[in-house]
Amino acid sequence: MLIEDTFAEAFTMRAARIIITGKTDRWAREAALKLTGFATSVIGCKCEAGIERTLPAAETPDGRPGISVLFLTMDKQSLPERLIERVGQTVLTCPTTACFDGLPSAPDRLPVGKALRVFGDGFQASKVIAGRRYWRIPVMEGEFLIEETFGMQKAVGGGNFLILADDADSCLAAAEAAVAAMDPLPGVILPFPGGIVRSGSKVGSRRYKKMIATTNDAFAPTLRAITETALPEGVNSVLEIVLDGLDGGAIETAMRAGIAAACRAGVRAISAGNYGGKLGPHHFPLRTIMGSGT
Amino acid sequence: MSETIVLTLRAPLERMLDLSAVAADRFAALAEREIAGQPVRYGGLAAALGDFVVVRGERSTRLRLEGDFARADGIGTGMAGGEITILGPVGRDAGLALAGGTIDVRGSAGPNAGGAPPGAARGMTGGEIMIRGSAGEEVGAAMRRGLIVVMEDAGRGMGRGMIAGTVVVMGNVGPGAGRFVKRGSIVAFGALAPPATFRYACTYRPPHLGVLLRSLRARHGLPFTDAHVAGRYHRYSGDFAELGRGEILHWAEAQS
């Protein structure tokens, strides 16, 4: 098993943590799944989002089952815009749910509840509880409760590693093991389906000028013979794990757990995606993270 | 600087003592001797605070009063921050026009707690008042913002003319609660008869009460149960003699 001497290159993003509660875990999760749907990559979705973890009732503000969601965009301006759109269409609409800020100490505040309150058409009412303002928005079911502002902080997006395997089955099994190891860790999300990406991309296009990202041909097994391949002998399938986190430490911890879990039968090497270190300020050297050369 | 300033009553009060000079934020920069020299009125006559209490501690925004202050009026008047804990009952006007901070009465309170000074349009505009015993008449009258919690019964005219804010009462509520309320919430767990100028809206689970009651339980150790937190409440809107934007939330399990 080879841990390649390379690094993952990641970007500074802006993140919010949304706590969704519901009458049952099911309803909190229904809202969270809709909120984080179609939010795999800023390339096409304008945001990246995922479920951070399930919260027991004792850990939520209203004592009901909850889900913690991390929500990221590339810049300060677009984070509230995306949140207002998505929370308004997914959490507000979902039976029994309420929506709370998961970064209360963050000084940068996003007026998400403040914007959504106008759905109440003047019938909304606010309450300040322990110094935090909440909006009660009347709806057909009863009332939707949402915090007035949500905290925003700098975060790290685009942490990643590549699993290079003998065949597609062993590659998927290794990726699934990696996701299972990373999923419970706090402060990170895996925004792609099941936490796994099969279509890793490179910047730009060799043929289509308008494309900002196209297939990572260096890691595509079917192109081994006709492109400048990065694949070692015997590798017939590659999957990528992409992760976003609230800070570099959370990314490192999750990468360490994921890579360790992915190192199993049928996996030939672990690599990572980068842009030569020129684009992203956050570098995660695989061998340093794993604490060994191979 | 002390962690807490303690005021211990020297002897039982035989007349009314006006303690409207006693506010936690006002003592933040005062030495022990300066605190003892604060002006008070006893039976209408000018006196000094130190004539009635032993002062221990200085330069703190945490204040503890020990003794029976049932004849002491106006504790915490106009306070904008800090904490006052009274280990016993207090007289009328506790937290009058309170603007911020917390007053925790470990006993009963007289009339007009959190209310407005004579002639003023607004009562308290912020902060929290916990009354662990019962409250006299017109608690929270004309309050504009903030929270009052009464753990036993509340007297006649509770929340009269509220502009906004919240009053929570665990016990029974006297007649006329919420009369002339513009906005604001009255939450009641005991017997309560909504005024005729309120209209029943529905019975439901107000989501903010889960947050509020759990917060009070965690921050102040108030004994709200899961049945209160997750319970259903009858909602009455009113007062329709005013804006009609206020509400009475009456616990559906209450024994009326």
How far is the C-alpha of B150 from the C-alpha of A27, rounded, in Å?
34
CA proximity to A15, closest of A67, A68, A72: A72
DSSP output for B219-254: HH-----HHHHT--EEEEEE-TTTTS-EEEEEETT-
Q: Which residues of A touch B183 (CB under 8 A)?
A: 125
How far is the C-alpha of B256 from the C-alpha of B249, rounded, in Å?
14
Using a pLDDT cut of 70, give the percent of chain B over it: 99
Model confidence pLDDT, tens digit, residues A80-113: 999 999 999 999 999 999 999 999 999 999 999 9
Model confidence pLDDT, tens digit, residues B72-128: 999 999 999 999 999 999 999 999 999 999 999 999 999 999 999 999 999 999 999
Model confidence pLDDT, tens digit, residues B195-211: 999 999 999 999 999 99
Distance from CA of A140 to the nearest CA of B (A): 12
Q: What is the ipTM metric for this complex? A: 0.94
Q: Using a CB cutoff of 8 Å and minimum separation of 24, what contacts does B172-178 make?
A: B174/B137, B177/B248, B178/B238, B178/B239, B178/B246, B178/B248
Using a pLDDT cut of 70, give the percent of chain A over it: 99
- Residue of A63, A64, A136 lying closest to B208 (CB–CB): A136
Q: A101 with A134: CB under 8 angstroms?
A: no
Q: Which helix (H) or strand (E) holds A214?
A: strand A213-215
Question: Phi and psi at residue A86, in whole multiples of 5°?
Answer: -80, -45
| Residue A282, amino acid | H
B211 touches chain A (CB under 8 A): yes
Distance from CA of B135 to the nearest CA of A (A): 22
Name the token pair of A260: 């360790």
- Find tokens 């929500």 and name the residue: A71
Summary count for chain B: helices (H), strands (E) = 3, 16
Q: Which residues of A touch B207 (CB under 8 A)?
A: 62, 98, 136, 142-145
Q: Using a CB cutoff of 8 Å and minimum separation of 24, what contacts does A88-93 make?
A: A88/A116, A88/A119, A89/A34, A90/A31, A90/A34, A90/A35, A90/A37, A91/A18, A91/A20, A91/A31, A91/A34, A91/A35, A91/A144, A91/A146, A92/A116, A92/A119, A92/A137, A92/A139, A92/A144, A92/A146
Does the structure show a pLDDT above 90 at B184?
yes
- Find tokens 């009070």 and name the residue: B216
Confidence category of residue B256, pLDDT binned at 50, 70, 90? low
Q: Number of A:B CB contacts under 8 A?
A: 48
Do the chains contact at B204 and A127, CB–CB below 8 Å?
A: no
Chain B nearest-CA residue for A128: B146
B171 touches chain A (CB under 8 A): no
Chain B nearest-CA residue for A58: B214
Name the token pair of B215: 């917060």
pLDDT computed for residue A294 by the predictor = 46
The torsion defined by the Cα of B112, B113, B114 and B117, in degrees rounded to 10, comes to 40
Name the token pair of B251: 């616990």
Model confidence pLDDT, tens digit, residues A50-78: 999 999 999 999 999 999 999 999 999 99
pLDDT computed for residue A293 by the predictor = 46
